[in-house]
Amino acid sequence: MKTSLDNHGLEGKPGLEVFRELDRQFLTDLLEWGKERYKVLLEEVDGILRGLREAGLKVVRKRTVWYHTCLGMVRVERTCYRGPDGKYRYLLDELLGLGRYRHTSLRVRSMALGLAVQMTFRRAAEVLRTLTAANLSHQAIHNQLARTADPHLDQQDRETRDYLESGVLPESEGRSISRLMVEADGVMLSLQGESARKTEVKLGIAYEGWAKVGSDRSRTVGKTCFADTGSGHAQWAGMMVKLQKRYDLGGVKGIIAGGDGAAWIRDGADDLGARFQLCRYHLNRELCIALGRRRADLRGVREACQQGQAEVADALLAQASAGSTGEEAKRIERVRAYIAENAAGLGDYRLDLGEEGKGLRRLGAIEGNVDKLIVRRMKNQGMNWRVKGIRRLLCIRFLYLEGRLDDQLIHHTTAKILPVVSGTKLKRKVTGALKRSHDQWLQAGLPALYGPSSNRAWAVQLRKLSRIPA
């Protein structure tokens, strides 16, 4: 590798300009060197695969292709084979997890999707170009997200359908826990190209408990998330399938399901066999809206609700309503109906657990999770969605946050995982090829330090820094 600053018009420029150009030039040259070495290595691996191929694969020809990598576009010549079935195959593409006409490396795909679940597709493409030599368009990233999400969503829908139709649940990891907290809420997203203008995304989270992260702050432990745009019944069925994959639900002593009192959340608590807990934030908000400055009435109703005394709370509200008129009376009547609908989840669940309940916290994690998991990426900013697009982005976003995105990319690649090639044998041969291909690395130099510009002021300073004798 040779690097020079000649012909860059830096004569007479200040040192800062020189070093800025040096930084850029080094990066450019290193990338070019890396692409060349990567090409040599891949073509050598292609030759290794040729000797290890399974019987029946006949060599047809060699074809070149551009691979999209973190180093940039690399043009590689690889061998084309024809199998006994008459289909053409490229073993090198299969080994790298690349599909037909889709020659983007797994690493680039992982980075692109990791950016896309956190920012717009256009912004993700821009950041990817800025931080790496990879150059994917926003549409290419969008297409990659669809190709990665669709197999996972198909499996998810199939498992949910099997559970709804026949009660069949997938195999479980069998994780054993004593108690499980489940919370749910919904958020409306704007649509485009659909019959409706908006749709509700239903989000459910489950966690095993809390861990302290500060003197007055805690975080949830073992969080599992599931979101979809279907009915409430389908949402809870999907949630049940995902929880079953992870936990031994038969061994759970109790499940607490919390929410804002929406009918689909109360029904979900019944589906899970859980004790319903009305969200304190929503309850307090409704009470404050209805009672306003009636502090004494507000305290009395809150205390009754805390103890699960729905009749007492209703009597206090009825008394307050009798002394009110107009809009105030209507608000109080609305909160009376709200409490009546959610009477089963009114009391603090911890009181029913006695001593065990003293070490537990109130539910209420769902509000922050709705914001962090859905709203920040998918709401406002003039965003409009197709239902299919919502489901795909949520799927990849959760896989990314759960640390399972790379596994999904590998699992659903079109690669045929070469069964006859020993991983150990291939690794040994590739390691040897790597050693051979790096022999010339130390031959790199900096011609600018001893070339025609070696007597210039900036070259003298660089020579001193690199301690190269004149």
Domain boundaries, the chain: 170-403
**Mean pLDDT confidence for 427-433:** 71
Q: How much is the pLDDT for 350?
A: 92
DSSP labels for 181-238? EEEEEEEEEEBSSSSSSEEEEEEEEEESEEEESSSS-EEEES-EEEEESS-HHHHHHH
Check whether 112 has a pLDDT greater than 90: yes
- What is the structure's pLDDT at 21? 73
pLDDT at 104 > cutoff 90: yes
Tell me how many degrees the CA angle 405-407-413 measures, rounded to the nearest 5.
100
Geometric angle at alpha carbon 352, from 347 and 357, rounded to 5° = 105
Average pLDDT for residues 31-43, to the nearest whole number? Answer: 90
Query: Is the per-residue pLDDT at 224 higher than 80?
Result: yes
H or E stretch at 74: strand 72-82
pLDDT of residue 380: 81
pLDDT band (50, 70, 90) for residue 210: very high
pLDDT at 395 > cutoff 50: yes
Residue from 187, 154, 349, 360 nearest 262 by CA: 187
- pLDDT tens per residue, range 306-330: 999 999 999 999 999 988 888 999 9
Q: What is the pLDDT of residue 419?
A: 47
| pLDDT class of 417 with cuts at 50, 70, 90 | very low
| 337-385 tens-digit pLDDT | 999 999 999 999 998 888 888 888 999 999 999 999 999 999 988 899 9
The rounded distance, in Å, linking the Cα atoms of 405 and 410 is: 9
Does position 468 have pLDDT exceeding 50, yes or no?
no
Whole-angstrom distance, CA of residue 265 vs CA of residue 200 = 13
Closest CA to 133 of 245, 277, 29, 224: 29
Mean pLDDT of 285-311: 92
Higher pLDDT, 95 or 79: 79
pLDDT higher than threshold 50 for residue 464 = yes
d(CA 287, CA 299) in angstroms, rounded, equals 10
421 SS3 class: coil
Out of 32-36, 250-254, 331-335, least confident range: 250-254
Asked whether the beta carbons of 9 and 453 are under 8 A apart, the reply is: no
